[in-house]
Structure 1
Amino acid sequence: MSNERPWLDHYPQGVPAEIDLNAYASVVAVLEESFQRFRDHAAFANFGKALSYGQIDALSRQFAGYLTGVLKLGKGDRIAIMLPNVLQYPIALYGALRAGLVVVNTNPMYTARELKHQLEDSGAQAIVVLDNFAATLQQVVAETEVKHIVTTGIGDLLGFPKGALVNFVLKHVKKMVPAYQLPRAVRFRDALAQGAAHPLPPVELGHDDIAFLQYTGGTTGVAKGAMLTHANMIANMLQVGAWIGEALRPGSEVAIGALPLYHIFSLTACGMVFPRLGAHTVLITNPRDMPGFVKELKKLPFSILPGVNTLFNGLLNTPGFAELDFSHLKISLGGGMAVQRAVAERWKKVTGRPLSEAYGLTETSPGVCINPTDLMDYNGSIGLPLPSTEVAIWSEENQPLPIGEVGELMVKGPQVMLGYWNRPDETAKVLGADGWLHTGDIAKMDADGYVYIVDRKKDMILVSGFNVYPNEVEDAVMQHPGVAEVAAVGVPDEHSGEVVKLFVVRKDPNLTEDALKQFCRDNLTGYKRPKFIEFRDTLPKSNVGKILRRELRDEKKNR
């Protein structure tokens, strides 16, 4: 068997070849086990306020009571959560799952256009939104099926007087809460109070029920909802848990939740894997404030730090980081984008611990491959396939290739999504009837089963771990009346890995770079906006008139 799966011979001691998916009936069963087992341990902390597993249990129970008892939402109904990393997130997340709802994680930085698409596409009937982003919701809510709105402020669960002070400063001093009017909205704390009068509903959940619609860009440019079932999430939780479990002690680890919970990497790691281990997860609301982030890291003996390359790089370049106490650090895990060798080597030098690289996709809940936690040095690989995961390299003719050959990375396993929500045509393009998922990533495998990414989805741009699909950017830019043609490509950037560059053929000769950048600010989330714009008379095209982005990219390299 190990000839077909050479990686099994190189698994760390104690890691099983297979996981037992039947260990839990649903994600809720996993959470409820942790609520009981680690009742008095700190579960999540934010701005110095910690809630225990027992408190998260009680509050998420109240939120579930509100959703079912007051709003009368039922199993399978969709709820959007549009929050940064605050204590309200895990409460809303677990409450929604306990109520049998499907969670639609929503990036708070979305523009009105992006938010409208996601709410319309998912058919969400309810949304939990932070005050800071409620003005965006106000613009589009009437055009969606959303009937129930729960609003909250960053300080709402931090207690008095701290919470009131935080909310006051954000609103009146920093002016970070634009005025909004959502007359039917209910405050999060009021929802919890109302929900307390309703018992937790008895919802029958099984492996095939959908837990999340996790939106991902697509080569077609329109964000699609990957249907992640309870089985998908349990599988990845058990797979990653089995892999890192030997290195961690249940009930005694401190994890840093700096990646946003709406991102699949953080959702599974900080929202599922770490709670199953009874970890104390510190939620960082604004990791972009690097000096503030380092100040938070000073306060606790942290042992687990998941992140993306840009986050690790940012920390290394922040004064005071090198002086932190790293004696408790056991696992630094890089995902979401390629970990750069220079960053990994510097991380090891500063912290004394390796930076392990892992690989995953929204469509695989997300983990596929991971490096051993006891790996001493950066190896340029994304690691070995997780337990119960099949990985193969296929040719363009969809035939398996021998070891060492370069082709498309294919994945099969219990963590692979059900498909894309309401898009059977898009599902069929990536997911075969035999269960093999096309990742679109070009890779090779060595004789020991280690996988190396050679190239990425041909046109995708990866900005700080976020996928940017050129079609979506181009579609938005083409809405500008002064644009005749546009191509978006990724160009290297030392801070975020890549940034977006536009090549534009003008319709209006007076169109300026500043005017177009302002238009992009109005229509695209920050990481999708172009950093560079170059005006051209023509763009390179194929014989069928398709704009050749690769030529534009290669042109940059050859200069």
Structure 2
Amino acid sequence: MSNLATILWRSAERFPGATSLVGKQGAYSYPELVKQVTRTGKMLSERSIEPGDAVLYQISNSPAVTTLFFAILSRGAVAVPVNPQWTSREFQVARERCHAKLAISEREDVSPDLLATCIEDLVTGEDVVEDGPVAREDADTAAVFFSSGTTGRPKAISLSHQNLMSNAEWVATRSLPSHAWGPGSHTCAVLPLSHSFALTCNQNAALYAGSALSYLDRFDSGELLNQIRNLNVSVTALVPSAASQLLDAQARAPGDVPLKYCLIGGAPISAALVDRFERAFDVTVVEGYGLTETSPVCAFRTPDTARKPNSVGVAAGHAELNVLDEAGRRVPSGTGELLVRGPGVCARYLDAEVATEDGWLKTGDLARIDQEGHVFIEGRLKDIIIRNGYNVSPVEVEQALEAHPGVDEAGVVGIADANVGEEIVAAVVVRSDAVTVEDLRGFCVSALARYKQPDRILRVASIPKGAKGQVLRDALRAKILT
């Protein structure tokens, strides 16, 4: 049986007395979690959810989102998590693209079929027969993630049960020493569990190993620090900006923390930040790299791997890494576009586009692999902006701004920022001086999720464009910086 949901049933058998989830309403043991997943799965079946059906959901980090994810998988259906910040328009577009048979949200304004409170209502429901997850094949789709693409239309990335299982297994068994995962250890989901980074490195790996999982429903560095101390959190995963803010919180409220390991990834990681974090918290930082198409971890520095400044580690044990050199040859070391192959690499997008060539995925990232296999990400061959670990398409932001009746054209670029990785900066040509920056900010609030909204909006006389009308982003970036 290849169903990813089997990890819960297995952990319930192996660790019946261990805590699985910790939420605002209390803690659940692994057997209690299996019962809750089974009740939720029954609710889905009563709504005619069958194997292969897509269930779209928009829920902040909580036991409910974990319960629903595994309930969907246990019925053989496909989980489609979307960001809690998404607007009604974004939610409905995703709903149509994945042909969701059922849409669930914690927000009434997106017009879901069900409100997420239906899951919480099942906590005290009647016991049901725990018949276990529906059998699935390795290649069957387990989840679909929406991630911004270079065309402005978010990519819908299909990850199979094998994709997610291979990544969860490697992170839970190989990324850290054996004592770091399992009963007695505790991890906190900080990034939204609609993000593949958090889904694998917080949720799936922890539950595979028998660890406890708690949640931060929205990022607040002070609240995170309190949770680490009060719940004895020993492992977590953060993007660089969150790590920096946690340092600031520690400076405001100094004291001991039980944290032992922290994975930092999702955006470029400075050696200075790693050094500050390790010294301030007396923890071991492990760096990693991945993308949604690789489930996501494909490069990692385990604690017993020598650190090289600015390296994201070496190929994770389940992945192969090469680069495409200037001659178009695939080579194991050198500089070029990073290529990934392995069981974590997706085979297709939702619309059946093939995502790989002979099993090798082109990442669009420029990388250097040294003779010892250490990977250094040196830039991107594509225009995607990475802000706080989220992929943001500049085209999507441009299209949103150009939908404003007072905007003639827009150009968007990422500008390096020590806090968030890249700042989203928009240059706009307006049709009238009456169109203010404040007007445009308000317009973006209704059109884009918060993490996609520009950090800065500049009114300009013109935007540099090429012969085909495309925004010349390097020229625009230079114009903004001068």
- Fold shared, TM-score > 0.5 on shorter chain: yes
Distance change in 2, residues 1:548/1:101 (3 Å): same
Contact residue 77 and residue 124 of structure 1 kept, 8 A: yes
Whether 1:103 and 2:79 are equivalent positions in the alignment is yes
Once the two structures are superposed, the pairs formed by residues 461-540 of structure 1 within 5 Å of their partners are 461-540=385-464
1:391 corresponds to which residue?
A: 321
SS at match of 1:393: strand
Shift of 1:336: 1.1
SS at match of 1:55: helix
Once the two structures are superposed, the pairs formed by residues 88-237 of structure 1 within 5 Å of their partners are 88-130=64-106, 133-135=107-109, 137-138=110-111, 148-152=113-117, 187-190=118-121, 196=127, 200=131, 203-237=134-168
Q: What TM-score, normalized to structure 2?
A: 0.94
Q: What TM-score, normalized to structure 1?
A: 0.82
* CA distance in structure 1 between the aligned counterparts of 2:227 and 2:55, rounded to whole angstroms: 31
**Aligned counterpart in structure 2 of residue 374 of structure 1, from 304, 308, 312:** 304
Shift of 1:263: 0.8
* CA distance in structure 1 between the aligned counterparts of 2:132 and 2:231, rounded to whole angstroms: 37
Shift of 1:396: 5.4
Could you tell me which amino acid in structure 2 is paired with residue 90 of structure 1? T
1:408 corresponds to which residue?
A: 337
Q: Encode CA deviations 1:211-234: one digit per residue, 9 max, x unaligned.
A: 001111111111121110001111
Shift of 1:551: 1.1
Contact residue 463 and residue 496 of structure 1 kept, 8 A: yes
Could you tell me which amino acid in structure 2 is paired with residue 84 of structure 1? S
* CA distance in structure 2 between the aligned counterparts of 1:431 and 1:321, rounded to whole angstroms: 47
Moved more, 255-264 or 317-326: 317-326
* CA distance in structure 1 between the aligned counterparts of 2:181 and 2:116, rounded to whole angstroms: 37
Q: Encode CA deviations 1:517-543: one digit per residue, 9 max, x unaligned.
A: 111111111111112122222211223
2:182 corresponds to which residue?
A: 250
Shift of 1:89: 1.2
2:349 corresponds to which residue?
A: 420
Once the two structures are superposed, the pairs formed by residues 243-322 of structure 1 within 5 Å of their partners are 243-244=174-175, 246-247=177-178, 248-287=180-219, 289-319=220-250
SS at match of 1:530: coil
**Aligned counterpart in structure 1 of residue 32 of structure 2, from 37, 55, 75:** 55
Q: Encode CA deviations 1:275-333: one digit per residue, 9 max, x unaligned.
A: 1111111211222x22222222221332212111011100001146773434x533210
Q: Encode CA deviations 1:353-394: one digit per residue, 9 max, x unaligned.
A: 232210010001101000022357562101010113111010
Contact residue 322 and residue 350 of structure 1 kept, 8 A: no
* CA distance in structure 1 between the aligned counterparts of 2:306 and 2:271, rounded to whole angstroms: 14
Could you tell me which amino acid in structure 1 is paired with residue 373 of structure 2? G
Percent of matched pairs sharing the same residue: 28
Shift of 1:461: 1.2
C-alpha RMSD of matched pairs (Å): 2.1
* CA distance in structure 2 between the aligned counterparts of 1:188 and 1:114, rounded to whole angstroms: 23
Where structure 2 has 5 or more consecutive residues not aligned to the other structure, the ranges are none
* CA distance in structure 1 between the aligned counterparts of 2:332 and 2:203, rounded to whole angstroms: 38
SS at match of 2:175: helix
Shift of 1:86: 1.0
**Aligned counterpart in structure 2 of residue 431 of structure 1, from 326, 342, 356:** 356
Aligned residues: 481
1:343 corresponds to which residue?
A: 273
Contact residue 540 and residue 551 of structure 1 kept, 8 A: yes
Distance change in 2, residues 1:449/1:536 (3 Å): same
Query: Bigger radius of gyration, 1 or 2?
Result: 1
Shift of 1:480: 0.9
